[in-house]
Amino acid sequence: MKSYRKELWFEVPARRAFINITPQVIEALRESGIREGLCLVNAMHISASVFINDDESGLHGDLERWLEKLAPEKPHSQYAHNVGEDNADAHLKRTIMGREVVVAVTAGKLDFGPWERIFYGEFDGRRRKRVLVKIVGE
């Protein structure tokens, strides 16, 4: 069995953003040379997510508004976690949106359903953060 590991780095200039990272994951898969197996993609930070959904701007706006209703950023003082930091909402948003995705690798390709794309969800940006790509198979 082969195994391949790569870190993708991001520095999002805003507090929150959704970034389509599918091209970088496809590039990692190509580098791995693996044709059959599994591809794990996970955020390495507890205030960011990796998830799969549609690359459609209306949906991304809906997600942003939905997350703000569930876990509004402000006022910062509403959260017990916000002692010396202000990112409690980011931890909650990350929990809802998830830590990782696993995609089957078939015939050297990510075996997606229709319209599936992989996104990095940043909820506390303006600093360098990482996503781990781990691919195993043969």
Minimum distance from CB of 73 to Zn ion (Å)?
13
Q: What's the CA gap between 101 and 112, in Å, rounded?
A: 12
In the complex with Zn ion, the residue whose CB is nearer, 26 or 46, is 46
Minimum distance from CB of 95 to Zn ion (Å)?
12
In the complex with Zn ion, the residue whose CB is nearer, 51 or 123, is 123
Return the C-alpha torsion angle 61, 63, 69, 75, nearest 10: -70
Using CB under 5 A as the binding criterion, the count of chain residues that bind Zn ion stands at 2
- Rule CB under 5 A: say whether 89 interacts with Zn ion: no
- Rule CB under 5 A: say whether 24 interacts with Zn ion: no
- Rule CB under 5 A: say whether 79 interacts with Zn ion: no
Residues whose CB is less than 8 angstroms from the CB of residue 88 and which lie 6 or more positions away in sequence, other chains included: 71, 76, 79, 80, 81, 82
Distance from the first to the final alpha carbon of the chain: 5
Among 10, 67, 87, 129, binds Zn ion (CB under 5 A): 87
In the complex with Zn ion, the residue whose CB is nearer, 49 or 87, is 87
> Which range, of 31-39, 58-66, 77-85, 115-123, touches Zn ion by CB under 5 A?
77-85
Residues 2-21 that bind Zn ion (CB under 5 A): none
Residues whose CB is less than 8 angstroms from the CB of residue 34 and which lie 6 or more positions away in sequence, other chains included: 2, 4, 105, 108, 135, 136, 137, 138
Residues of the shown chain interacting with Zn ion in the complex, contacts defined by CB under 5 A: 85, 87
